[in-house]
Chain A
Amino acid sequence: QVQLQESGPGLVKPSETLSLTCTVSGGSITRHYWSWIRQPPGKALEWIGYFYDSESTKYNPSLESRVTMSVDTSKNQFSLRLNSVTAADTAVYFCASPSSGSFFDAFDLWGQGTKVIVSS
């Protein structure tokens, strides 16, 4: 059974870079679409972007200029970097994916989420 687990610092200073990792256990990270989603306090889910095998990435246009996603296949992990953060980036960040790995399937796999606060 594939499981996802987010990790990273819970506090980031304004203007710095937020870095999170999602560890995939029970399955391979290759040939699979992986996404990051975030949820500001009391607000709706926001899709950040996806990547596939380092070959294909797509980011939400509202965040595209600040986002980078990457993968470390040796560790079965994928990462999110969001630079120049502000208080508006304070949120719970989730990694998620369709268990099939297909681009055309909904997200039935979710990590538990990790809370990130942007504050000095």
Chain B
Amino acid sequence: EIVLRQSPATLSLSPGERATLACRASPTMNTTYVSTFHLAWYQQKLGQAPRLLIYGASNRATGIPDRFSGSVSGTNFTLTISRLEPEDFAVYYCQHYGSTLFTFGPGTTVDIK
């Protein structure tokens, strides 16, 4: 099983600023493999279903603006929003998929400073 830890819990920024969200994957057993190919990022606004932003750690989903980007270093994943637009203030979740269990992280709230 893989545990996902997201930081920070809350990120307070102004429109136009850069947002950097982290997701760290930790296997609970030494034999569990953390696939860097199967990490996704979702955006969720209040009262709505999550929306897929990034899959495979760094691939933008269809229709996602290029201000959203994903990267990976080892088992540390990053979602970057280059310049925050008013509609980007939301909760962001990382997810590990394509494995025995499909795990979500606890989320990072990006709110307006």
Contacts and interface: CB of A to CB of B under 8 A. Distances in A.
Interface of A: 35, 37, 44-47, 50, 58, 60-61, 94, 96, 103-108, 110-113
B62 A108 contact: yes
A45 B98 contact: no
Contacts of A104: 37-38, 97-98
B97 A106 contact: yes
Contact of A103 (B1, B62, B98, B104): B98
Contacts of A47: 95, 101-104
27 contacts: A44-B106, A45-B42, A45-B44, A45-B95, A46-B104, A47-B103, A47-B104, A58-B101, A61-B1, A94-B49, A94-B50, A96-B49, A104-B37, A104-B38, A105-B55, A105-B97, A105-B98, A106-B56, A106-B61, A107-B50, A107-B52, A108-B52, A108-B55, A108-B61, A108-B62, A111-B49, A113-B49
Given A45-B104, A47-B102, A110 B55 contact: no
Contacts of A103: 98
Contact of A60 (B55, B101, B107): B101
